[in-house]
Chains A and B, each alone.
Chain A
Amino acid sequence: MYKLLLSWRYLRTRYIALASIVSVTLGVATLVVVNSVMSGFAHEMHARLHGILSDIVVESYETAGMPDATWHMEKIRSIVGADLEAITAVVHVPAMVNIPVPNGRSVTRPINLVGVDEKTYAQVCEFSPHLLHPENRKQLSFLLRSGGYAPGRTAFPPSGWQHRRNRVRIERDIQRHLQPSAAAESKAGQELADADTQRKIERSADFDPLSVALPQSSPQLPGSGRFDQPLGQKNDDVVRDDVPAVQLADSQVSDPFGNVPVNSNGAVFDPVKHQHTGVVLGIAIASTRHRDADGQVRDYYYCLPGDDVQITFPNASQKPTAVFDWFTVVDMYESQMSEYDSTFAFVPLRKLQEMRGMFDPEQGIYGVSSIQLKVREGANLNAIRDKLREQFPATTYPYSIQTWRDLQGPLLAAVQLETTILNILLFLIIAVAGFGILATFFMIVVEKTRDIGILKALGAPSGGVMSIFLNYGFALGVVGAIAGMALGLVFVTYINEIAGFVETLTGREVFDPTVYYFQQIPVITDVATMLWVVCGAVLIAVLASVLPALRAARLHPVEALRHE
């Protein structure tokens, strides 16, 4: 009884000891915060990486990819069996995107162009949730929507057909203003269109985009560079209003420079009514993020859904040459992983296969560069991967078969390592705090020497005296750890507010969304981790009190009583 009473009284009256556990408190609080933030980060990253990458990727090293996608997919289906949930074929190719900006200039970005099957791609990996348009999140479509992109995001400019039409109207107004004799040019435009059609035929014959990239006769007007159909407007009056807003067949939309494409129905390409093949651009390709004078994060968009961009990439022939085409941005992809957001652009699979020449026209077989699988929840990814590797031996097939963990292994390992090292370092901090407790306890034992003598004179056994100090250390550890955990949890709960406060205080961004693409600091509080941290801290406090407690227990009662 006296042990509990005395340790309780010591706890309440020795403020110096409470001071010595402040370091335990801080250490525990830091551990809680670090672990929460790191696991929030790791979880977010896992979710995103996994979502983007799909479970298993069978990728071909060859330029032309796997020659027969259907055969491969059938074979994979038979190998994986019941574990397979979804499968999709993908073509990816390094590419370059040119985004026209006002004043006839354009922004060029290197991208990773991915040809996806709009029906199955979203089943395999978490693609749809990262799109801006709510309808596209349900089912991806490469057709431009009329509007309603990124609902609830006030900073996102209006986009879609509305934006496209407004833009074209403004462009045409400018152009009309610059060229009052529009009627006269209308005829000339018609002639040019004929000439362009001629050139297009030439191009499809020799596959040389350069021959059309420099049209001698196209009057590229100042201020119209952003809008790639400077002459199209001259056919304003010939376009029938009843033509549906649809994407024209590929062959009709290939030449941006002033031609007037005509589809099989005889409809002339009109940017007000028609779109090119759709492309989903990574949001960071199409925008820059910066800070305005007030320190607010702003996004500036070079292009928006409804605008047209030019994409250039190599074809799949033995002597690769660059091919290019115009695409209409139909949506944007925002996974909040800056690496992906700034490189990925998605186009329809078939379009890419055809442009790259990845098909056998005689047999109608299409090639792909990789096949992505989604397997049943809980299936052993590594086992399936090994089975696939067995069936597609590296000696015969130049394929790399990897799980998403393999693909992002180094990144995941780095996060894991960071967490481990931080934990070790912070536990060292608590260990340092333990030495503080040790020193304080020695002081308290010296200070309490006479009391120890009294207790022994009253018949308290050495073990009892020892356990007073062990209890005391335990109580200090518990108080410190609980206080630290409470502090840490409060910190974690209000971490974004605290970050905002520190920001206003120092004027420096704590968690820069221009770098991390997180709007908020992600946190996950894991109960088991918290328990470990608290137990570790209490254990360190108890261990630190063992030596002083032993010293107290070994005190000779007579000498202790004489101590002053």
Chain B
Amino acid sequence: MSSMPVGYEPLIASARQSSSQLTAFTGQTDEQQMPARPYLLAAQNVTKSYQKGRLQIPVLKGVNFGVEPGEFVSIIGQSGSGKSTLLHLLGMLDVPDEGEICLGLERMDNVSAKRRDRFRNEQVGMIFQFYHLLPELTTRENVLAPLMISQGVFSYLKHRRRNRERADQLLEVVGLSHRLTHRPHELSGGEMQRTAVARALITRPQMLLADEPTGNLDSENSAEILQILKDLNRDEQLTIVMVTHDRDIAKEAGRTVCLREGLVDEVGHGNL
């Protein structure tokens, strides 16, 4: 849709890699064993490519990935390896060219846009590298945004007090009680990311999808965010999928999946 050249660095990088290795590409996909336990969210044989001018650039070349309930999985890989794309597919922000995305046993990639909108709103919380807060809204309003989306005007106004209490409670958990009426531009990077975490949790989702949540933060703030995620995973059994390019950060997760050139390269548990 957008023709803006900015923001396409991962795509461009992957295009270069893919085209240089196009001849070497066999088209073979990783044969992976489907796990015995049912996944909360799973990608099966997912391929995804982007159209760049006349070129078809494959990003995911048949990825199998699943996350069990209560798991903390990190996906690592170089820029252009397709990890963000995989996360977007898992978060129903995009649909795969081939393959399936399943929520439990329900296939989600071919349902209506409305169903997927509701899924995004209610069942996943998302955290992004660039925080992605709405600049016009205050911290508290940003946290409340998913509820504003899911509830109509009247029902929102009816539950306003309860919603607000929950937002304040979450902001207290992430340590931002003193920033309720600040606008994003008045917050530091760490504070913005903590706001984003609170926002991701407001609808009590089943899982959290984090795209490089520490990518723009200093080590101290990164550690804090990671600690919050780990606490959530441990205390509330929240399922977390975290994309990162930093192995040290990936180590914090219970399991690590490595993507390389659009394929799952290695899977490790604990320290990789």
Contact = CB atoms under 8 A, between A and B. Distances in A.
Interface residues of A, number: 33
Contact of B6 (A6, A13, A451, A564): A564
Contacts of B120: 456-459
A560 interface: yes
Contacts of B121: 458-460
Contacts of A5: 137, 141, 148
Nearest to A2: B148
Interface in B145-195: 145-146, 148-153, 156-157
B253 to A, nearest CB: 22
Contact of A563 (B4, B141, B148, B153): B4
Contact of B8 (A10, A459, A562): A562
| Among A451, A455, A457, A458: residue with most chain B CB under 10 A | A458
Contacts of A4: 153
Contacts of A112: none
A454 B94 CA distance: 14
B128 interface: yes
Interface string A5-41: 1100110010000000000000000000000000000
Contact of A559 (B1, B122, B156, B199): B1
Interface string B1-33: 110101110000000000000000000000000
B136 interface: yes
Interface string A538-564: 000000000000000011111111111
Interface in A336-392: none
Contacts of A403: none
Contacts of B153: 1, 4
Nearest to B2: A559
A458 B205 CA distance: 12
B128 A561 contact: yes
A360 B150 CA distance: 96
A10 B135 CA distance: 10
Interface in B26-46: none
A461 B132 contact: no
Interface string B52-66: 000000000000000
B234 interface: no
Given A2-B145, A458-B120, A458-B149, A13 B136 contact: yes
B88 interface: yes
A449 B134 CA distance: 11
Contacts of A555: 1-2
A558 B2 contact: no
Contact of B2 (A1, A456, A560): A560
Contact of A458 (B6, B7, B88, B146): B146
A1 B118 CA distance: 16
B113 interface: yes
A9 B1 contact: no
A457 B113 contact: no
Interface in A435-479: 449-451, 453-462, 464
A449 B2 contact: yes
A459 B85 CA distance: 18
Contact of A455 (B85, B128, B149): B149
A459 B120 CA distance: 5
Contacts of B199: 458
A554 B2 CA distance: 10
B170 to A, nearest CB: 15
B132 A450 contact: yes
A10 B150 CA distance: 21
Interface in A183-238: none
Contacts of B156: 1
Contact of B122 (A456, A459, A563): A459
| Among A450, A461, A562: residue with most chain B CB under 10 A | A562
Interface string A29-62: 0000000000000000000000000000000000
A561 B126 CA distance: 12
Interface in B191-219: 199
Given A6-B136, A564-B7, 12 more contacts: A1-B151, A455-B149, A457-B91, A458-B121, A458-B145, A459-B149, A461-B114, A464-B149, A558-B94, A560-B2, A563-B6, A564-B6
25 contacts: A1-B157, A2-B145, A4-B153, A5-B148, A9-B136, A10-B136, A13-B136, A451-B136, A457-B93, A457-B128, A458-B121, A458-B126, A458-B149, A459-B119, A459-B122, A459-B149, A459-B150, A460-B117, A462-B113, A555-B1, A558-B93, A559-B2, A559-B7, A561-B93, A562-B7
Interface of A: 1-2, 4-6, 9-10, 13, 449-451, 453-462, 464, 554-564
Interface of B: 1-2, 4, 6-8, 85, 88, 91, 93-94, 113-114, 117-122, 126, 128, 132-137, 141, 145-146, 148-153, 156-157, 199
